[in-house]
Structure formats: structure tokens, C-alpha cells
Structure 1
Amino acid sequence: MPGHRIFAMSFASIYPLYVQKVERKGRGKDEVDQVITWLTGYDEAGLARVIADEVDLETFFAQAPAMNPDATLITGLICGYRVEEIEDPLMQQIRWMDKLVDEVARGKKMTSILRGSAAQRA
């Protein structure tokens, strides 16, 4: 069974859209980086590398240094689906990232977005 089309999209094509979304709401790129780092374990250099290499989302998540175990605490609706009910693990990871960026754009506190963990990091 072929994967979803989104799996082949490059992280580099989605990342600037995330940044634009939060900047329109008065938030910053550093906050996008913080939630993506929290979720995946990529550091600043790692994010820069996957953007420069234009890796697809499937590879982005497969090579993530350390998916945060608290990611399972991410709940709610994104694109009309409850993220906690998405069965495909890769699609769920993509939607977790979407949900975190949405929460940044909505102005939620970082401690809440990061599910109470690691919020003191830059």
C-alpha cells in the first residue's frame, strides 16, 4: 500500500510555512524551532541540515534523534482528525508537529505546549 503523498513532501517546504504562520500571530521562528526540537530531538544544526538536504517527512521522522515520549500527551483536533486516534505512526507524528505549531500560533504558553516538560530550554 503506497504511503500518503505528504510523506514524500520535504521538511524544507513545510518549515517556512510553519514560521510564517506563527509570525503572522506575533510569535517567532525560535518558538517553532523549540517545539520541533522538543518533539524530535533535532538540534539547531540538525534542523539546518535536514532543511538544506531537503529530506522528506518520512526520512525526517525516521532519522529523528529522539522522539519525545511525552508526545503521546498531544491531543486534540488537527485537519479534522483527533491526533490521538490516528493509527499510522508517521501520520500521527506529522500531525503532532502540526498541532504543536498551531498551539504556538494560538498563543498558548510554552509550558503547556511542551506538556510541562523542558519548557525552560531556550
Structure 2
Amino acid sequence: MTKHKIYTMSFSKVYPHYINKAERKGRTKEEVDEIIRWLTGYSQEELEAQIEQQTDFENFFAQAPELNSSRTMIKGVICGVRVEEIEEPTMQEIRYMDKLIDELAKGKAMEKILRKQT
């Protein structure tokens, strides 16, 4: 079975689209970065290095220092598919990130996006 083409796509090619989507809705690059760091465990410097190295999505998630255990709390539909029902692990991680960026663009509070317990 061949891999989905997004796996071999450079994260650095999609990252500006995440920022543009957020900024069009009055959110910031810093918030996008915070979401990505929360999800993956990358530091800001490590995230910037991944972007500079043009790491593909598959390796971006495979090399993530510590995928956040609270990410399983992310529920909902992205691209017509429920994220919690995606069986392929890498695709699920990609869709988790897409869902979080969507929530940011829709104006959701960062505490809710980052699934902070109250």
C-alpha cells in the first residue's frame, strides 16, 4: 500500500497556511506555535529547526519529543472524518493538528484548545 502524499509533504510547506488561517481570524503565529508545541512536545527552537530542515509530516511526528497525552481528548470532524475514529496513527496526528488550528481560527479560547483541566 502506498503512503498518503501528505506524509511526504514538507511540514514547512503547510505551516504558513496554518498561520495565514489563524491570522485571517485575528489570531497569531505565536498561538499557532503554542498549539504545535503543546501537541508535539517540540521546543520553539526545535520547531523552527524542523521547519528549516523541511521535515516531512511523517518524520515531523515520528521525531516529536513527546506527543501530548491529552490529544486524545480532541474530538470532532475534519475533512469530513471524525478525528477520534482515524485508525492510521500518523494521519490521526495530522488531523489532530488540523482540528486544533480550526478551533483557533474559530475563536476558541486557548485553554479549551489545549484541553486544560479546570
TM-score w.r.t. length of structure 1? 0.94
- Aligned position for 1:86: 86
**1:66 Cα deviation after fit:** 0.3
Aligned length: 117
Give the match for residue 57 of structure 1. 57
1:12 equivalenced with 2:12 (yes/no): yes
In structure 2, C-alpha distance between the alignment counterparts of 1:72 and 1:52, rounded to whole Å: 29
Question: Secondary structure of the residue that 1:61 maps to in structure 2?
Answer: helix
Paired position in structure 1 for 2:39: 39
Match of 2:22 in 1: 22
Q: What do you get for the CA RMSD once the two structures are aligned?
A: 0.7
Residue in 2 that maps onto 1:48 = 48
Cα distance in structure 2, aligned partners of 1:68 and 1:47: 15
CA apart distance, 1:116: 1.1
Q: What stretches of structure 2 of length at least 5 have no aligned partner?
A: none
| Shift of residue 57, structure 1, vs aligned partner | 0.2
State the percentage of identical aligned residues: 56
Partner of 2:2: 2
Structure 1 spans left out of the alignment, 5+ residues = 118-122
Per the TM alignment, residue 2 of structure 1 is displaced from its structure 2 partner at its CA by 1.4
1:3 Cα deviation after fit:
0.9
1:56-106 CA-to-partner distances (Å, cap 9, x unmatched) read: 000000000000000000000000000000000000000000000011111
SS at match of 2:100: helix
For residue 9 of structure 1, what is the amino acid of its counterpart?
M
Measured in 1, the distance between the counterparts of 2:44 and 2:114 equals: 17
Following TM superposition, where does structure 1 have runs of at least 4 consecutive aligned residues deviating by more than 6 angstroms? Answer: none
